[in-house]
Amino acid sequence: MDYENKLVLAPMVRVGTLPFRLLAADYGADITYAEEIIDHKLIKCERKVNEYIGSTDFIEKGTDNVVFRTCNQERNRVVFQMGTSDAVRALKAAQIVCKDVAAVDVNMGCPKSFSVSGGMGAALLTKPDLIHDILTTLRRNIDTPVTCKIRLLKSSQDTVELARRIEKTGVSALAVHGRKVADRPRDPAKWNEIADIVSALSIPVIANGDVFEHHDFHRIKVATGASSVMVARGALWNASIFSPKGKAHWEDVKREYVRKSILWDNDVKSTKHTLREIITHYSCLELPEGKAVIKSENLADLAKVYGEEEYYRLVSENRFSLTGHR
């Protein structure tokens, strides 16, 4: 996996499932991170090839709960991101998926209490020995590239010191979200502090924070010196941000997302969550579209909301003729 000069879709919980990753890639994303999945959850899963959908699924044993779905099309660009606080568990989880993904990433930036109270996400930033243990264990035992994603520490000097320790573990790249743990999403990302890390390391640094338009890719590259850029909210609100041809209308992007969700039989909760985020950004959930999305119980309902009943029917019929399952 080459991490130089890449446009990267950031990991986003409940958003970065297969249809959203494929959507971003269609518009030009080179690397697409999946939503964070906790190691505890993945180690309860078994791998199953889903002939019905054409996907590879990781399903919680004894249930039909799909924890992670991927497909051959994205094999060379999908990054599996995990939440972990333990090297042995992280390795067990990585071994389950590593043959089906392009890289394995460890989330070291999530400030949510769920992550931090479990010793995961941003909690790791204060434990450099544990970071070292997790990353070296993964590096030594799997052939797939290993990376991690961090936030900034209190001082730029502290972040650079940590980044240097991380580099020594042999990771292939380091993604840096240019905010500190206590910063809110509305606080501006500190591109200058990402620049300090870029100049201190030899491995590729993926710069992340406040890229909302295609031309921001160039601005953040110039400001940080990083050749690769990761974008979260800008892509959530309009996945065509990756396109060099300019943004498509968000209504068209949203419709394409609905079609991909139908095609890949996405978890309806994930599709609804993503649609709600998009609608809230541009309009309001109180209007008829928002209310209909909230009320939808399955993908067939969502297909109706967006006038995609015919597409839904065609996909279902095609699957039936291929597999004999409805």
Establish whether 104 is an annotated binding residue.
no
* 313 three-class SS: helix
Tell me, residue by residue from 130 to 149, as one string, x for binding to ligand FNR by CB under 6 A and - for no binding: -------------------x
Q: What is the rounded CA–CA span in Å between residue 103 and residue 139?
A: 11
CB of 216 to ligand FNR, least distance (A): 9
Count residues binding ligand FNR (CB under 6 A): 23
CB of 110 to ligand FNR, least distance (A): 6
β-bridge pairing 228-231 and 66-70: unpaired
Give the DSSP H or E segment for 180.
strand 173-180
CA distances (Å), origin 266, targets 21, 220, 247, 274, 291: 12, 33, 25, 11, 20
Q: Which of 11, 19, 145, 204 binds ligand FNR (CB under 6 A)?
A: 11
| 308 torsion bin: left (phi>0), alpha (psi -120 to 50), beta (else) | alpha
Going by the DSSP 8-state scheme, the letter that residue 102 receives in this structure is: S
Is 148 known to be catalytic?
Answer: no
Among 45, 110, 148, 284, the active-site one is 110
Q: Which of 22, 31, 104, 110 binds ligand FNR (CB under 6 A)?
A: 110
Q: Which of 7, 36, 195, 198 binds ligand FNR (CB under 6 A)?
A: 36
**Closest to ligand FNR by CB, 107 or 240:** 107
Q: Which stretch binds ligand FNR (CB under 6 A): 48-56, 106-114, 123-131, 241-249?
A: 106-114
Q: Which two tokens stand for residue 125?
A: 């930033």
Q: How far apart are the first and last CA of the chain?
A: 38
**Closest to ligand FNR by CB, 28 or 54:** 28
Q: What is the torsional sign of CA 244, 248, 250, 253?
A: negative
CB of 81 to ligand FNR, least distance (A): 6
CB of 234 to ligand FNR, least distance (A): 5
At 253, which amino acid appears? V
Catalytic residue list: 110
| Positions in the binding site for ligand FNR (CB under 6 A) | 10-13, 15, 35-36, 81, 107, 109-110, 149, 177, 189, 208-211, 231-234, 236
